[in-house]
Amino acid sequence: MTSLPDSPLPDLRRYDAVLFDLDGVLTPTAEVHMHAWRAMFEELFAQWGIEPAYTDDDYFAHLDGKKRYDGVAALLRSRDVEIPWGDPSDDPSLDTVCGIGNRKNAVFSRVLADEGIAPYPGSLALLDALAAVGARVGVVSSSKNAKDVLTAAGILDRFPVIVDGAVAERDGLPSKPAPDMFLAGARQLGAAPARCAAVEDALSGVASAAAGGFALIVGVDRGAGAATLSAAGAHVVVSDLAELVGPATR
Ligand SMILES: [Mg+2]
């Protein structure tokens, strides 16, 4: 528990709806994404002679929580590399922003299919506690793989509303940290942001919910750091969502 010792943890059942980020909040997919990005960019940087070398800090600074192509463009821009945007239909072998994003996705899909994925036990416990009182819940994820991941984790049917990368592209919603995806999730659940909670592990996601005026923003520290998540707008930071089940049942 990384919030102030005397600040009580919130009861998420008191909010009209709870919107969850997926990767790193419900499922440990951030690990799979990090590995896929690292494998792909290490090879690309070596081929193109790009320096400095790719590190996991790049993941948190440029890639985590963003739409795939925006992340590719941001990372390459950090190394003063500009390439054509291309088109989402680009083959993974093409050296465009979209082609490189699709290359990473092929690695990700292979790992997900080979190894499967289980939800964090603490996240599942919180979802159970919310379901027990009929709370409205949704997923707001920049990933275009959100439904595949939810299906692989066996929790797809728990979420009547899913605003993912595919929906964002279809509806022209800008990437987190813009508030649009979280606002769309709240709207689809019929709840006002000022009465909703958002749960996020990425700085861009916390900033997105803060910009959307959400009543409660829970930061989940999976590596970004509690202080950094708080500075981005998280009202409380936990290291596992099981910490939020206690207050609801005590
Ligand atoms: Mg995340």
Query: If you write DSSP's letter for every residue of 93-110 in order, what string do you get?
Result: TS-SHHHHHHHHHHHHHH
Nearest to 244 by CA among 19, 18, 11, 88: 11
The pLDDT score that the predictor gives to residue 248 is: 46
**CATH architecture for segment(s) 31-115:** Orthogonal Bundle (1.10)
Angle between helices 68-78 and 97-115 (to 10 degrees): 120
DSSP helix/strand/coil, 138: strand
Q: Is the pLDDT of residue 9 over 50?
A: yes
Instruction: Measure 199 CA to ligand 1 centroid, in angstroms.
Output: 9
| Residue pLDDT, tens place only, 88-131 | 999 999 999 999 999 999 989 888 888 889 999 999 999 999 99
Instruction: Measure 70 CA to ligand 1 centroid, in angstroms.
Output: 15
pLDDT band at 52; cut points 50, 70, 90: very high
**For 12-28+118-249, CATH number?**
3.40.50.1000
pLDDT band at 144; cut points 50, 70, 90: confident
Instruction: Measure 26 CA to ligand 1 centroid, in angstroms.
Output: 9
The burial class, CB within 10 Å (0-12 / 13-18 / 19+), for 96 is middle
pLDDT band at 67; cut points 50, 70, 90: confident
Instruction: Measure 22 CA to ligand 1 centroid, in angstroms.
Output: 6
Instruction: Provide mean pLDDT across the span 209-217.
Output: 98
Instruction: Measure 163 CA to ligand 1 centroid, in angstroms.
Output: 13
Alpha carbons 153 and 170: distance in angstroms, whole number:
25
214 with 18: CB under 8 angstroms? no
Instruction: Provide mean pLDDT across the span 177-205.
Output: 97
Whole-prediction pTM? 0.79
Instruction: Measure 158 CA to ligand 1 centroid, in angstroms.
Output: 18
| Residue pLDDT, tens place only, 128-138 | 999 999 999 99
The pLDDT score that the predictor gives to residue 61 is: 92
Kindly list the catalytic residues: 21, 23
Q: Is the pLDDT of residue 66 over 70?
A: yes
Q: Is the pLDDT of residue 171 over 60?
A: yes
| Residue pLDDT, tens place only, 145-163 | 899 899 889 999 999 999 9
**From residue 202, how far is each of 71, 125, 141, 191 by CA, in Å?**
13, 21, 11, 23
pLDDT band at 35; cut points 50, 70, 90: confident
24-28, 55-59, 126-130, 244-248, range with the lowest pLDDT: 244-248
Domain ranges of the chain: 12-28+118-249, 31-115
Nearest to 17 by CA among 143, 114, 130: 130
The pLDDT score that the predictor gives to residue 7 is: 58
Instruction: Measure 192 CA to ligand 1 centroid, in angstroms.
Output: 23
Instruction: Provide mean pLDDT across the span 34-56.
Output: 93
Instruction: Measure 20 CA to ligand 1 centroid, in angstroms.
Output: 9
| Averaged confidence pLDDT in the chain | 92
End-to-end, the C-alpha distance of the chain in Å comes to: 17
Q: What are the percentages of helix, strand and coil residues in the chain, rounded to 5?
A: 50, 10, 40
The pLDDT score that the predictor gives to residue 247 is: 54
Instruction: Provide mean pLDDT across the span 174-179.
Output: 94
